[in-house]
Chain A
Amino acid sequence: MKELIILSTLGVLSLIAGLLRIKRPFMVVVIAGLLLNISVCVLDWNHNENLYNMMTLDNFALAFTIVSSTLAILWFIVANAYFQNSNTFSDHYALVLFSMTGGLLMVSFTNMVMLFLGIEVLSIPLFVLAGSHKTSMRSNEAAFKYFLLGAFASAFLLFGIALLYGSTGHFDNAGIASFLGANKISGMALAGIVLMLGAMTFKVSAAPFHFWAPDVYQGSPTMITTFMATFVKTVAFAGFYRLFFLTFMPVRAEYALLFAVIAALTMLVSNLIASAQSNVKRLLAYSSISHAGFMVITLLCMNSSSAGTLLYYTLVYSISSIIAFSIFKWVKTHSAENEEISAFTGLIRRSPFLAVVMTFALLSMSGIPPLSGFMAKYMVFTAAIDNGFMWVAICGIAGSLMAVYYYFKIIIAMFAEVHESSEIKVPANLRFVLVVCSIALLALMLFPSQISSLI
Chain B
Amino acid sequence: MLTLLLILLPLLSGFILLLTGSKNARQIALVLSLIEFGLALFALSTLKSGALETLNYNMPWIPNMGISFRLGMDGISMLMVLLSTMLMPLIVYASFNKTYNNAHTLYALMMLMQSAMIGSFVAMDGFLFYIFWEVSLIPIFFIILMWGGENRQKTTFKFFIYTLFGSLFMLVALIYLYLHTANHSFDIQALYAAGRSLPLVEQGLIMGAFFLAFAIKMPVFPFHTWQPSTYVAAPTPGVMLLGGVMSKMATYGLIRWVLPMVPDGVHEYGYLIIGLSVVSIIYASCIAIIQKDFKYLIAYASIAHMGLISAGIFAMNMQSLQGSLMEMMSHGINTVGLFFAYDIIYNRMHTSEMTKLGGIRGVESRFAFLFFIIVLSNVALPFTNGFIGEFLLILGVFQTNMVAASFAGLSIILGAVYMLRAFQKMMLGETNSLTLHFPKLEKQEIITLSIIVILIVVMGVYPKPILEITESSIQTLLQGIQ
Contacts and interface: CB of A to CB of B under 8 A. Distances in A.
Given A415-B145, A448-B62, A397 B131 contact: no
A374 B172 contact: no
B63 interface: yes
A386 interface: yes
A400 B160 CA distance: 13
A305 B66 CA distance: 14
A4 interface: no
Nearest to B60: A449
Given A368-B134, A397-B168, A449-B62, A405 B161 contact: yes
A453 interface: yes
A415 B62 contact: no
Nearest to B116: A370
A401 B134 contact: no
B156 interface: yes
A368 B134 CA distance: 7
Contacts of B65: 382, 448-449
A363 B164 contact: no
A122 B135 CA distance: 40
A397 B173 CA distance: 13
A401 B165 contact: yes
B145 A412 contact: yes
A119 to B, nearest CB: 33
Given A369-B131, A381-B172, A412-B153, A449 B64 contact: yes
A195 B222 CA distance: 49
B142 interface: yes
B161 A401 contact: yes
Interface string B142-179: 10011000000100110011001100100110011011
B51 interface: no
Interface in A335-356: 348
Contact of A404 (B63, B130, B145, B160): B160
A368 B138 CA distance: 9
Nearest to A366: B164
A385 B175 contact: yes
Interface in A396-415: 397, 400-401, 404-405, 408, 412, 415
Given A369-B131, A401-B164, A405-B161, A386 B138 contact: no
Q: Is the interface of A mostly helix, strand, loop or mixed?
A: helix
Contacts of B62: 448-449
A393 B171 CA distance: 11
A394 interface: yes
Nearest to B176: A385
Contacts of A404: 160-161, 164
Contacts of B179: 382, 385-386
Contacts of A448: 62, 65
Given A368-B134, A400-B168, A381 B160 contact: no
Nearest to B160: A408
Contacts of A394: 172
Nearest to B134: A369
A416 interface: yes
Contacts of B142: 415
Contacts of B135: 369-370
A220 to B, nearest CB: 31
Contacts of A408: 157, 160-161
A452 B161 CA distance: 29
A166 B140 CA distance: 62
A395 B165 CA distance: 13
B366 to A, nearest CB: 37
Contacts of A400: 168
A415 B63 CA distance: 38
A374 B131 CA distance: 9
Nearest to A348: B146
B234 to A, nearest CB: 15
A369 B160 CA distance: 14
Q: Which 6 residue pairs are nearest across A and B when measured between Cβ atoms?
A: A369-B131, A397-B168, A369-B134, A449-B62, A412-B153, A415-B145
6 contacts: A368-B164, A385-B176, A393-B175, A397-B171, A404-B164, A408-B157
Given A368-B138, A415-B146, A449-B64, 14 more contacts: A305-B64, A363-B138, A369-B134, A374-B134, A378-B171, A378-B175, A385-B172, A385-B176, A393-B175, A404-B160, A404-B161, A412-B156, A412-B157, A449-B63
Interface of A: 305, 348, 363, 368-370, 374, 378, 381-382, 385-386, 393-394, 397, 400-401, 404-405, 408, 412, 415-416, 448-449, 452-453
